[in-house]
């Protein structure tokens, strides 16, 4: 990635690393995100935790064979035991363990996903993950699909405001009532627009959508078209210098007609995943132009890039370059 993009692979922010429902109490998983090997587990107290993978003793991977012990985890190699904060609390055969620990990442669970806070300078979280579907029982269970794509997260979400590719890549006709408004507000970018979706039918149908980003790792697309309320919730997480994992989750407010709810969900799922796959070959093969030729039919790309710089520790230097 270093050769492809003039900024760090992992910006600062909350990043999704899995679904809450896939991690039961006592489960331990080895995962790799943000260029780091991590151990993800759910402690006896029901809290999801993420530690740096490699044990401070001889370097075994805590996520491969580690066992949940109380709120923490025991290393599979020599049984060193860490508490829920990562502090070493027990060494088998020793009265008092040496002062050591595993780095515990800040974790939050929201919208059915598990997030970790990443900051290049270890600065604590400066914003929260925005919550959706407060009345969860009124919504359908999440349908989710994950992809691994060779693109930087910044390049990926530039897509949201890149309005001149909608017709070429996604075959979207301009809506009758044209509306496209972008606001940058702190760590969120909010895009209100009318979209005419023709991906699945020649006629197309028009919808009003609000897209809200939450830092560099989360995008929520809300469609409100009485009586339909739909939410596409997307997390994009750098895996390493090359790849980003993108998870598209979909849920809608249940209609009285269950069959209609099901068929609309299915159709939307199809459209979302189709549209996503249309972007992939462009993303994976493009280069990053620092000074693209921006015309008035393009979206506010320059503003977007300036806004995104807040998520890099060296953002001001990038600004000057
Ligand atoms: S490597 Fe973990 S206890 Fe020895
Ligand atoms: Fe796109």
Whether residue 190 is found in the same domain as residue 254:
yes
Q: What are 144-195's pLDDT values in tens digits?
A: 999 999 999 999 999 999 988 988 998 877 777 788 999 999 999 999 998 8
Q: Is residue 124 part of a domain?
A: no
Confidence of residue 198 (pLDDT cuts 50, 70, 90): low
How wide is the angle at C-alpha 18 spanned by C-alphas 74 and 40, nearest 5°? 10
Q: What is the span of the domain harbouring residue 44?
A: 13-118
Q: What are 261-289's pLDDT values in tens digits?
A: 999 889 888 888 999 999 999 999 999 99
Whether residue 291 is found in the same domain as residue 189:
yes
- Centre of ligand 1 to C-alpha 153, Å, is 35
Could you tell me if the CB of 75 is within 6 A of ligand 1?
yes
Q: Is residue 129 part of a domain?
A: no
**pLDDT value, residue 318:** 61
In the chain, the N- to C-terminal Cα span, in Å, equals: 18
Q: 3-state DSSP call for residue 192?
A: strand
The structural domain count of the chain equals: 2
Whether residue 90 is found in the same domain as residue 164:
no
Which ligand approaches the C-alpha of residue 100 most closely?
1
Q: What are 32-56's pLDDT values in tens digits?
A: 999 999 999 999 999 999 999 999 9
What single string gives the DSSP state of each residue in 132-191?
--SSGGGBPPPEEEEEEESS-HHHHHHTTT-GGGHHHHH-PPPPSS--EEEEEETTEEEE
- Centre of ligand 1 to C-alpha 138, Å, is 47
Could you tell me if the CB of 179 is within 6 A of ligand 1?
no
Using an 8 Å Cβ cutoff, are 107 and 116 in contact? yes
Q: Which ligand 1 atom sits closest to the C-alpha of 58?
A: 1
- Centre of ligand 1 to C-alpha 241, Å, is 29
Sign, CA dihedral 66-71-72-78, equals negative
Output b/e per residue, 54-73; b: 16+ Cβ within 10 A: bbbeeebbbbeebebbebbb
Mean pLDDT of 220-245: 94
Compute φ and ψ for 264, nearest 5 degrees.
-65, -40
Whether residue 261 is found in the same domain as residue 287:
yes
- Centre of ligand 2 to C-alpha 235, Å, is 15
Q: Is the pLDDT of residue 321 over 60?
A: no
Q: Is residue 2 part of a domain?
A: no
Which ligand approaches the C-alpha of residue 280 most closely?
2
* CATH code of the domain covering residue 36: 2.102.10.10
Range with lowest mean pLDDT among 11-20, 221-230, 281-290, 301-310? 221-230
Which ligand approaches the C-alpha of residue 155 most closely?
2
Compute φ and ψ for 301, nearest 5 degrees.
-65, -40
Q: Is residue 126 part of a domain?
A: no
Whether residue 206 is found in the same domain as residue 274:
yes
Final residue of a domain: which of 63, 86, 118? 118
Whether residue 285 is found in the same domain as residue 152:
yes
Q: Is residue 229 part of a domain?
A: yes
Q: Distance (Å, rounded) from C-alpha 75 to C-alpha 112? A: 28
Q: What are 68-92's pLDDT values in tens digits?
A: 999 999 999 999 999 999 999 999 9
Whether residue 109 is found in the same domain as residue 170:
no
**pLDDT value, residue 206:** 81
Whether residue 182 is found in the same domain as residue 110:
no
The owner of tokens 């697309």 is 221
Q: What are 93-112's pLDDT values in tens digits?
A: 999 999 999 999 999 999 99
Q: What pTM does this model have?
A: 0.94
**pLDDT value, residue 226:** 81
């Amino acid at each position: 990635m270093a050769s492809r993009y003039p900024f760090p692979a992992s910006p600062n922010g909350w990043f999704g690393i899995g679904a809450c429902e896939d991690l039961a109490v006592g489960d331990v998983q080895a995962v790799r995100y943000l260029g780091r090997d991590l151990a993800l587990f759910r402690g006896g107290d029901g809290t999801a935790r993420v530690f740096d993978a490699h044990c401070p003793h001889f370097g075994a991977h805590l996520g491969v064979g580690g066992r949940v012990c109380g709120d923490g985890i025991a290393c599979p190699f020599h049984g060193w035991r860490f508490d829920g904060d990562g502090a070493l609390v027990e060494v088998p055969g020793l009265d008092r363990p040496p002062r050591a620990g595993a780095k515990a990442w800040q974790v939050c669970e929201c919208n059915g996903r598990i997030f970790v806070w990443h900051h290049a300078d270890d600065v604590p979280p400066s914003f929260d993950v925005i919550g959706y579907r407060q009345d969860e029982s009124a919504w359908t269970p999440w349908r989710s699909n994950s992809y691994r794509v060779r693109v930087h997260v910044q390049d990926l979400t530039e897509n949201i405001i890149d309005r001149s590719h909608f017709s070429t890549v996604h075959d979207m006709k301009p809506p009758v009532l044209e509306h496209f408004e972008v606001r940058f507000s702190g760590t969120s970018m909010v895009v209100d627009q009318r979209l005419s979706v023709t991906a699945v039918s020649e006629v197309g149908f028009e919808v009003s959508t609000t897209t809200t980003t939450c830092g560099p790792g989360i995008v929520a697309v809300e469609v409100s078209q009485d009586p339909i309320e739909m939410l596409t919730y997307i997390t994009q997480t750098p895996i390493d210098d090359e790849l980003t994992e993108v998870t598209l989750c979909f849920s809608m407010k249940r209609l009285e007609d269950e069959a209609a709810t099901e068929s609309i969900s299915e159709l939307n799922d199809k459209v979302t995943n189709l549209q996503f796959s249309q972007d992939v070959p462009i993303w994976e093969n493009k280069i990053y132009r620092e000074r693209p030729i921006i015309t008035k039919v393009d979206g506010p790309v320059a503003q977007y890039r300036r806004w995104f710089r807040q998520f890099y520790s060296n953002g001001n230097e990038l600004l000057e370059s």
